Amino acid sequence: AQSGKGLNAQNLRIEGVKDIVAVASGKGGVGKSTTAVNLAVSLAKKCQLRVGLLDADVYGPSVPMMMKLHGKPDISKDRKMIPIENYGVRCMSMGSLVEEGAAIVWRGPMVMKALEQMTRGVNWGILDILVVDMPPGTGDAQISISQRLQLSGALIVSTPQDVALLDAKRGVKMFSQVNVPILGLLENMSYFKCPKCGEASYIFGKQGARKTAEEMGMTFLGEIPLEVGIRSSSDEGVPIVVSQPDSVISQAYGAVAENI
């Protein structure tokens, strides 16, 4: 990724933010937030960009835990929220604004209002790229977010399973309907490598996302295995690209950051 490379460089919707890139998935639990977090940190550390991370998954915000964010954002003199920074990434999440574990039961318009606050009501400073962890799915909320934020592009995350890929395809169609370019498809939980014998098991099927990307004429961004370290790093609030920066997995995330 290079600064200002994206399509909306002139057509800014958030002051000071050059490009806005969504990390999306057709369904929940496929590793969208994990990808958004590791990608954002890689863009900051490896590509040396000024990076923001917006957790737009307002119903299930996981960025505060995954990025080890504490407390509530401070308010600047111009009455905007100041993002909470960690690992070189400026973060904003509904999880930092409500009590931990609180159930968020808003309807659509309230969600859009909250997102408005979390984008334009924030003093992001100058950003080369704002990574948006989208809510899972391909409904109205996702369409409004894509349109209002004028996304430069979207990265789709999927497991190799047919059901997940079917939803991923819906995601691709949704973004093309609102003219958001697809940056590529990243396969998560591609295989599990036995720590004892080293053999790879393709738990959710083999190379499903690669084939889907080829069929749909999308860039295939790579495979991230199912690995204990990814889950434990996320749970501890230290993304794997920080805790194990030289691992094969961190290199794979770095390559995604460089390729989008």
Question: Which part of the chain contacts ligand ADP (CB under 6 A), choosing from 106-114, 145-153, 206-214, 227-235?
Answer: 227-235
Token pair of 93 as six digits: 């999440």
Q: Is 104 helix (H, G, I), strand (E, B) or coil?
A: coil
User: Of 20, 122, 189, 241, which one interacts with ligand ADP (CB under 6 A)?
Assistant: 189
Residue from 3, 5, 28, 104 that binds ligand ADP (CB under 6 A)? 28
Q: Which stretch binds ligand ADP (CB under 6 A): 11-19, 172-180, 209-217, 228-236?
A: 228-236
- Distance from C-alpha of 226 to C-alpha of 130, rounded to nearest angstrom: 27
Q: State the nearest-atom distance from the C-beta of 203 to ligand ADP, in Å.
A: 11
For 58-85, letters b (16+ CB in 10 Å) and e give beebbbbbbbebeeebeeeeeebbebbb
Separation between Cα atoms, residue 17 and residue 92, nearest integer Å = 14
31 binds ligand ADP (CB under 6 A): yes
* Contact status: 93 vs ligand ADP (CB under 6 A): no
**Nearer CB in complex with ligand ADP: 153/222:** 222
Q: Judged by CB under 6 A, does residue 154 bind ligand ADP?
A: no
Residue 34 interacts with ligand ADP (CB under 6 A): yes or no:
yes
Phi, psi of 101 (to 5 degrees): 80, 0
> Residue holding tokens 């940056």?
183
- The phi and psi torsions of 13 (rounded to 5 degrees) equal -110, -30
Does residue 226 interact with ligand ADP by CB under 6 A?
yes
Q: Name the pairing type of β-strands 182-188 and 84-86.
A: unpaired
Determine which residue in the list 44, 180, 227, 238 makes contact with ligand ADP, applying CB under 6 A: 227
- What residues make contact with ligand ADP under the rule CB under 6 A? 25, 28-34, 62, 136, 188-189, 224, 226-227, 230-231, 234
